[in-house]
Amino acid sequence: MREVAIIGSGMTKFGELWQKSMRDIYVEAALKAIDDAKVDHIDGLYVGCMSSGLFVGQEHVGALMADYLGFGNVPAVRVESACASGGFAFRQAFLDVASGMSDIVLVGGVEKMTDGADVTYALATAADQEYEVYYGVTFPGIYAMIANAHMKEFGTTREQLAMVAAKNHKHGSLNPNAQFPGLVSVETVLKSTMVADPLRLLDCSPVSDGAACVILAPLEIARKYTDVPVRVIASGAASDTLALHQRETLTTLKSVKLAAERAYKMANVRPENIQLAEVHDCFTIAEIVVTEDLGFFPKGKGGEAVEKGLTSLEGRIPVNTSGGLKSKGHPVGATGVAQVIEVYEQLQGRAGKRQVRNARIGLTQNMGGSGASSVVHIFSV
Amino acid sequence: MREVAIIGSGMTKFGELWQKSMRDIYVEAALKAIDDAKVDHIDGLYVGCMSSGLFVGQEHVGALMADYLGFGNVPAVRVESACASGGFAFRQAFLDVASGMSDIVLVGGVEKMTDGADVTYALATAADQEYEVYYGVTFPGIYAMIANAHMKEFGTTREQLAMVAAKNHKHGSLNPNAQFPGLVSVETVLKSTMVADPLRLLDCSPVSDGAACVILAPLEIARKYTDVPVRVIASGAASDTLALHQRETLTTLKSVKLAAERAYKMANVRPENIQLAEVHDCFTIAEIVVTEDLGFFPKGKGGEAVEKGLTSLEGRIPVNTSGGLKSKGHPVGATGVAQVIEVYEQLQGRAGKRQVRNARIGLTQNMGGSGASSVVHIFSV
């Protein structure tokens, strides 16, 4: 297996981009990444996208993006794993370069969610249609069940959930691409509209449009393009039951644990070696559960860790320095690649006001649905 | 890059499988493949599927199939490239094994098209939504334009189109998994209902449910599982504009030519070395154009080749011995993998009444839309 590195990145601002179509935003992010990497060609293209058929009536988006990008004859394909589509697209592009099939590969994620489709219905297709969706479940409801179980089992508090939102909005306020960069206090979260008890509006990530792209190359040629190639030192993936009720517990996401174990083993690192992480905070409770399952904190202590400031920019292990899904936005197919971009820029030392000092090893964790699929990548300079 | 081989296969009968759900048919094909390969575990799973969101309201089908198959924690992901989803899923699984990441990988394709969705709308999402679909184009219309251009430019006759259908139904009559195994005469095709001039009902592949799975392993361990591993000696892919009007010509499918050139180069073989091929005959004209672009016949001579019987079971290069999309059926996501199964079984010498004698090198060609994406694989024993 060849060693693989990231040599460039580009993304759109996340938000309600009504004046642009899905292809526009993918191409915008892709051209920025191509400029950043200073490559004159690509050998292949991947698109992570969850539900373009339901959102904008367009499948076949791999070939579509190659076409509109002006690289109309390269191998191009779409990868889907619900909200982990971007992370899994990155994994497939990594395997493509690692195998020796391709050298310069563009991998991007995109989603156009605000063009009028029934967003709640489209997102619910990440859950089990026959055993969950049919009975009326939606994702705020699913994560509310997880939150209630976590609060009951470990004493996680309503305030600790709100602290995740407040921290991530603080980080996002330093990110020019964030959809909601405004600061949000714990009190404001606690007073926001109830969505699914105990989760309130400001516990939920927003509905977003956006795209994010990176360019991969074998390490041996990466130095031609950048002085600081960021190596992809591990890719771990796992799945779990789609339906929440079929799992042994609601408070551990088994796919996250397994994907992380596989990634740590491949990279030969331990959780305590990770210096920053972008994790899948689709709801505030998700960040708490995931930081436990990644091994950053003991099970049940994720809430306390936020309260103590361990996951803030100046903390022991900064989590979601980009603002996370919560503040930066969550165009579902783009999220996994946008996480990679944050870690890439942090490790290159160009994260501006939200730079984590001396960061050399970072991790991304992206998941689909309520964790039926998870993918973890570890990066190093 | 490690050498990769197929060690087992399984598929459902193709047809209107109203009594079974999408997950049922994928699992049925997967279990048959697992039994055939006699493996006791898998390291990863791929699902080729075009539009499960629109067809049955379910995305996230990689994790779903791992879950329902009882391998709930393996890495699992869906690959989409319209009607080439199965072929591209096969390519991604091939890269996974070739890279050294995984050993035993299950790759399947599935589509459930008869559950009540608007099939014409769902399939049209493979075309350019903004520049084609919005103006009312559908796929029979697109291929009718290609047929008219081919007839005008090369003198291909209406009868030659019908001969493709008659040949493929004759082959399909020998395939127990075919949706429409009945024999069809040239006269019957010519008298069938007009769909989009010059294409008639019996020029079109049907709407189908079905699933097809194969199991891949590195060649070095493949002999543990089978006496006759079938090696994957090349994978070539390419893309083209989604919209037909943006191409230089309607009568050559550039993505097919490029994918084939890349595959021939990788396998170090020439078109004349290919002893049988499964190609994407979504409409009769498609088989004629594709057999030219694969280099089996000079441009413009594909119709004549069918008329001379060169592509029939006893001909110089038997094409679509399975019955093709036309007779076997076309559950879009499953098609690319079902093509691989036909070549696999032929090269293993277990194709029964439709066995091509002494076949040692075979090819599959699968495409999305009107050829905006194409993937070609070459196999050898």
| B278 Cβ under 8 Å from any chain A Cβ | no
Give the pLDDT mean for B300-328. Answer: 98
pLDDT tier, A17 (very low <50, low <70, confident <90, very high otherwise): very high
Residue type at B29?
Answer: A
Nearest CA in chain A to B234: A101
Residue tagged 């992010």 (tokens): A29
Cα(A344)–Cα(B371) distance, integer angstroms: 36
Q: Taking the alpha carbons of A23, A25, A31, A33 in that order, is the dihedral positive or negative? A: negative
**Prediction pTM value:** 0.98
Nearest CA in chain A to B56: A129
Domain spanning B4-119+208-222, CATH class: alpha beta
pLDDT over 90 at B237, yes or no = yes
Give the pLDDT mean for A225-231. Answer: 95
pLDDT over 90 at B180, yes or no = yes
CA A246 to chain centre: 25
CB contact under 8 A, A126 and B66: no
B-interface mutation test, from A42, A59, A107, A137, most B Cβ less than 10 A away: A59
| B257 Cβ under 8 Å from any chain A Cβ | no
pLDDT at B353: 96
Which residues of A fall within a CB distance of 8 Å from B259?
75
Considering only the beta carbons, identify the residue of B72, B241, B373 that sits closest to A241: B72
**How many beta carbons lie within 10 A of that of residue B103, not counting itself?**
18
Q: Where are the alpha helices (DSSP H) in B173-218?
A: 186-191
Cα(A18)–Cα(B159) distance, integer angstroms: 50
Which residues of A fall within a CB distance of 8 Å from B238?
73-75
pLDDT single digits (tens) A87-100 = 999 999 999 999 99
CB contact under 8 A, B242 and A67: yes
CB contact under 8 A, A59 and B51: yes
Which residues of B fall within a CB distance of 8 Å from A128?
64
Distance from CA of A234 to the nearest CA of B (A): 11
Distance from CA of A66 to the nearest CA of B (A): 7
Fold: same for B4-119+208-222 and B124-203+233-380: yes
Cα(B381)–Cα(B366) distance, integer angstroms: 21
Distance from CA of A206 to the nearest CA of B (A): 20
CA A13 to chain centre: 15
CB of B300 within 8 A of CB of B153? yes
B-interface mutation test, from A50, A85, A239, most B Cβ less than 10 A away: A239
Average pLDDT, chain B: 97
Which residues of B fall within a CB distance of 8 Å from A237?
75-77
In order of A172, A184, A223, A289, the CA distances from A189 in angstroms are 16, 7, 46, 19
pLDDT at A287: 98
pLDDT at B67: 96
Burial class (CB in 10 A: 0-12, 13-18, 19+), A63: buried
Q: What is the DSSP string of A256-302?
A: HHHHHHHHHHHHT--GGG--EEE---SBHHHHHHHHHHTTSS-TT-H
Distance from CA of B333 to the nearest CA of A (A): 12
| A239 Cβ under 8 Å from any chain B Cβ | yes
pLDDT at B72: 84
Cα(A309)–Cα(A190) distance, integer angstroms: 19
Which residues of A fall within a CB distance of 8 Å from B235?
101
- Between positions 352 and 381 of A, the ones with CB within 8 A of B are 368-369, 372-373, 375
Which residues of A fall within a CB distance of 8 Å from B99?
1, 95, 98-100
Nearest CA in chain A to B75: A238
CB contact under 8 A, B53 and A56: no
Distance from CA of B46 to the nearest CA of A (A): 10
Query: If we measure between CA atoms, which residue out of B119, B138, B63, B252 comes closest to residue A238?
Result: B63
CB of A285 within 8 A of CB of A370? no
Domain ranges in chain A?
Answer: 4-119+208-222, 138-202+233-380
pLDDT at A120: 93
Rounded to 5, what percent of chain A is helix, strand, coil?
Answer: 40, 20, 40
Instruction: Verify whether residue B213 is a known catalytic residue.
Output: no
Catalytic positions of A = 83, 330
Considering only the beta carbons, identify the residue of B76, B133, B240 that sits closest to A73: B240
Catalytic annotation, pick one of B83, B204, B213, B282: B83
**How many beta carbons lie within 10 A of that of residue B135, not counting itself?**
8
| A59 Cβ under 8 Å from any chain B Cβ | yes
Cα(A255)–Cα(A240) distance, integer angstroms: 6
Give the pLDDT mean for A167-175. Answer: 98
Structure tokens at B58: 């379910």
Residue type at B207?
Answer: V
Which residues of A fall within a CB distance of 8 Å from B100?
1, 98-99
B-interface mutation test, from A27, A42, A56, A60, most B Cβ less than 10 A away: A60
CATH homologous superfamily of domain B124-203+233-380?
Thiolase/Chalcone synthase (3.40.47.10)
CATH number of A138-202+233-380: 3.40.47.10
Which residues of B fall within a CB distance of 8 Å from A75?
91, 237-239, 259, 375
Structure tokens at B157: 């006759």
- Between positions 68 and 107 of A, the ones with CB within 8 A of B are 72-82, 88, 91-92, 95-96, 98-101
CB of B253 within 8 A of CB of B367? yes
Cα(A323)–Cα(B7) distance, integer angstroms: 47
CB of A268 within 8 A of CB of A380? no
Which residues of A fall within a CB distance of 8 Å from B122?
53
Considering only the beta carbons, identify the residue of B77, B259, B372 that sits closest to A88: B77
In order of A294, A332, B70, B361, the CA distances from A231 in angstroms are 20, 25, 34, 39
CB contact under 8 A, A79 and B77: yes
| B118 Cβ under 8 Å from any chain A Cβ | no
Tell me, what DSSP letter sits at residue B204?
B
CB contact under 8 A, B372 and A238: no
Q: Where are the alpha helices (DSSP H) in chain B?
A: 22-37, 52-56, 61-69, 85-99, 119-124, 139-154, 158-172, 186-191, 219-222, 254-267, 284-293, 302-307, 324-328, 332-347
A-B C-beta contacts closer than 8 Å: 213
CB contact under 8 A, A63 and B74: no
Which residues of B fall within a CB distance of 8 Å from A126?
59-60
Considering only the beta carbons, identify the residue of A50, A62, A121 that sits closest to B373: A62
Distance from CA of A132 to the nearest CA of B (A): 11
Cα(A67)–Cα(B194) distance, integer angstroms: 33
Q: Which helix (H) or strand (E) holds A367?
A: strand A361-368
pLDDT single digits (tens) B151-177 = 999 999 999 999 999 999 999 999 999
Instruction: Verify whether residue B280 is a known catalytic residue.
Output: no
Give the pLDDT mean for B28-57. Answer: 98
pLDDT over 90 at B99, yes or no = yes
pLDDT over 90 at A72, yes or no = no
Which residues of B fall within a CB distance of 8 Å from A64?
128, 242, 372
Considering only the beta carbons, identify the residue of B77, B369, B372 that sits closest to A81: B77
pLDDT single digits (tens) A115-161 = 999 999 999 999 999 999 999 999 999 999 999 999 999 999 999 99
Q: Is the ipTM of this complex over 0.85?
A: yes
Cα(B78)–Cα(B63) distance, integer angstroms: 8
Nearest CA in chain B to A3: B99
Average pLDDT, chain A: 97
- Determine the length of chain A: 381
CB contact under 8 A, A67 and B368: no
